Amino acid sequence: MFVSVLLGLVTAAAVLAPVLNYYYRNGYVFIDHETFYSLARLLYVLMWVNAAFACTCLGVWIHAGRLGIGMWIGFGFSVLFTLLFTMVNLVSGKLTFNENLKMAVRPLRFKFMSGAMVLDLGTGYYAVVFGTSKRSQGYVTYRVKGEEKTSWSADGGVKRMGILHSCQIPREELENNSYQIHAIRVAERLSYGSRFGTVLHGDTYSFKGTRTSDTLTAVSVSDWHFRYQEMENAVAQMGGFDLLLTLGDGGDYFVNEQHAVKLLVKPLSIITKGQVPIIFTRGNHEVRADFDFGDFWRKLGYKDGFNYRVERGGYLFTVIDSAEAPDGHDEWEHKGCYDMLPYLNSVLAWLEQLEPRPDKYNIVMDHDANFSTPTDSKQDRYFAALERLGIQFGVSGHSHNFRFDEALHGLFPNIQDGGRFIRAGHPKGPLNGLLDVITKPVYAYRACKIEFTPSEIRITGTDDLGNSLGEYSVKK
Kindly tell me if the per-residue pLDDT of 21 is higher than 80.
Answer: no
Read off the amino acid at residue 145: K
pLDDT of residue 193: 77
pLDDT of residue 431: 46
153 DSSP β-pair partners: 167
Judge contact between 250 and 267, C-beta under 8 A. Answer: yes
Judge contact between 307 and 385, C-beta under 8 A. Answer: no
pLDDT band at 252 (very low <50, low <70, confident <90, very high): confident
pLDDT of residue 459: 96
Q: How many of the other CB atoms lie within 10 Å of CB of 71?
A: 19
Q: What is the pLDDT of residues 129-138, one digit of tens each?
A: 999 988 899 9
Q: What is the pLDDT of residues 52-103, one digit of tens each?
A: 666 666 666 665 666 566 556 655 665 665 555 554 444 444 444 455 455 5
Mean pLDDT of 167-192: 92
Instruction: Outline where DSSP puts E strands in 271-337.
Output: 277-280, 308-312, 315-320
pLDDT band at 32 (very low <50, low <70, confident <90, very high): very low
Instruction: Please give the distance of CA 85 from its chain centroid, rounded to a whole number.
Output: 26
pLDDT band at 164 (very low <50, low <70, confident <90, very high): very high
Q: By three-state DSSP, how is residue 196 classified?
A: strand
Judge contact between 64 and 56, C-beta under 8 A. Answer: no
Is 216-475 the same fold as 117-206? no
Read off the amino acid at residue 322: S
pLDDT of residue 65: 60
Say how many Å lie between the first and final Cα of the chain, rounded.
75
Read off the amino acid at residue 364: V
pTM score: 0.79
| Number of residues written out for the chain | 476
CATH class of 216-475: alpha beta
Query: In this structure, which CATH number among 1.10.287, 2.60.120, 3.30.70, 2.60.40 belongs to the domain 117-206?
Result: 2.60.40
Angle of helix 33-64 relative to helix 2-14, nearest 10 degrees? 140
Tell me how far CA of residue 223 lies from CA of 74, 138, 393, in angstroms: 42, 28, 20
Judge contact between 392 and 361, C-beta under 8 A. Answer: yes
Kindly tell me if the per-residue pLDDT of 191 is higher than 90.
Answer: no
Task: Report the b/e string of 345-354 with b at 16+ CB within 10 A.
Answer: eebbebbeee
- Closest by CA to 362, choosing from 346, 351, 350, is 351
pLDDT band at 48 (very low <50, low <70, confident <90, very high): low
Average pLDDT, the chain: 79
Instruction: Please give the distance of CA 83 from its chain centroid, rounded to a whole number.
Output: 30
Q: What is the pLDDT of residues 353-375, one digit of tens each?
A: 999 999 999 999 999 888 866 55
Lowest-confidence pick of 243-257, 326-340, 342-356:
326-340
pLDDT of residue 114: 96
Q: Report the C-alpha gap between 220 and 201 in whole angstroms.
A: 31
The top-scoring range by mean pLDDT among 210-219, 294-303, 359-368 is 359-368
Q: Report the C-alpha gap between 293 and 288 in whole angstroms.
A: 8
Taking the domains of the chain in order of start, what are their residue ranges?
Answer: 2-104, 117-206, 216-475
Kindly tell me if the per-residue pLDDT of 398 is higher than 80.
Answer: yes
**1 CB-contact burial (10 Å; exposed 0-12 / middle 13-18 / buried 19+):** exposed
Q: Report the C-alpha gap between 458 and 470 in whole angstroms.
A: 11
The DSSP secondary-structure symbol of 94 reads T
Lowest-confidence pick of 59-68, 263-272, 400-409:
59-68
Q: What is the pLDDT of residues 431-467, one digit of tens each?
A: 444 444 455 667 789 999 999 999 999 999 999 988 9
pLDDT of residue 39: 58
Q: Is the dihedral of CA 426, 431, 437, 439 positive or negative?
A: negative
